[in-house]
Amino acid sequence: MYSNLGEKEENMAIEERFGKVATTEDTHEVSETGAFVRQDNHFVTPFGEGEGELPVEAGRYRLIWTPLCPWATRQVIALKLLGLEDAISVGKVSPVRTENGWEFSLDEGGVDPVLKIRYLPEIYAATDPEYEGRATVPTVVDLKTRKVVNNDYHRLTNYWETAWKPFHKPGVPDLYPEDLRTEIDELNVILFHEVNNGVYKAGFAQSQKEYEAAYDVLFQRLDWLEERLSKGRYLFGDRLTDSDIRLYVTLARFDVAYYFSHKTNRNRIADFDNLWNYAKDLYTIPAFKEATDFDSIKRGYLLGSHGHNPYNILPLGPDVSIWDEPNNRDEKFGKRI
């Protein structure tokens, strides 16, 4: 589809297919003070049975993710935990983002086998020619209409956990129990602003003042979480919830990438007793381990268009085999329920 074009013609064709879609955070997401201000999600229609909601139909949607991205990885963890892999089609972009955005370079011919596109911005521009934000992962595409219908990582796992219950496998965990939803939602807001996105506020800051402010908030919250996890196996006692997925994806990226790529170097996660053993404990659950690709995480943050690494030298460390070492959560809290 693309190989017959010359370089100049291909670049012009790409620009035409991308419309107004941005391909870097620098376009719209840095304030006058140098703070990183992440863009709002644009496609936020919920799944459900109500008027105007996205119908819940097995085989209708394709989820696009990359193992680099924490927001996307938590979708895959949820799908695996809930047994939704047969109901939701999954496509994967390369963890190394290009100047043209996320690319399907892992697929044969460099094209997604279902959507038949090379770059994710193509489907965003086709969906909304006036869209000026970045094409982000996770992205949910309606295969009937060939349009992006949801990129709302704030709520997407909650839809898998609730609206998609008719397609859950028997015996799966209740990740968003009704009696805890208010508390889960409140904690998730904290986790997003101060931890999940907190590392990006530090790493993508363009002034010393904004970097230091984000750094301080991040580590104050990690200290708070270290204390909280001294009292229970998970964030809500012995119940594995949506919040644990959200915290885990940041912990899994911290020592292998954020510590140096995002300048969040007060402590490694391995230097915290409870956070580290909690993360290793979650890693023993197949859904978490299968969705965690440390090599992709490292490559994604350190190579490509936003790695600030002109020679594309990939660090050899750290040693990720320590994730398979025993943890002390059984000893502290008894066998996992």
Active-site residues, by number, are: 69, 200
- Separation between Cα atoms, residue 32 and residue 206, nearest integer Å: 9
Residue 94's Cα: distance from chain center in Å?
13
The torsion angles phi and psi of 81, rounded to 5 degrees, stand at: -65, -35
The pair of structure tokens assigned to 76 is: 């895959």
Dump the DSSP string for 236-274.
Answer: BBTB--HHHHHHHHHHHHIIIIIHHHS---S--GGG-HH
Which of 75, 85, 62 is closest to 141 using CA atoms?
62
Residue 149's Cα: distance from chain center in Å?
17
- Separation between Cα atoms, residue 70 and residue 77, nearest integer Å: 10
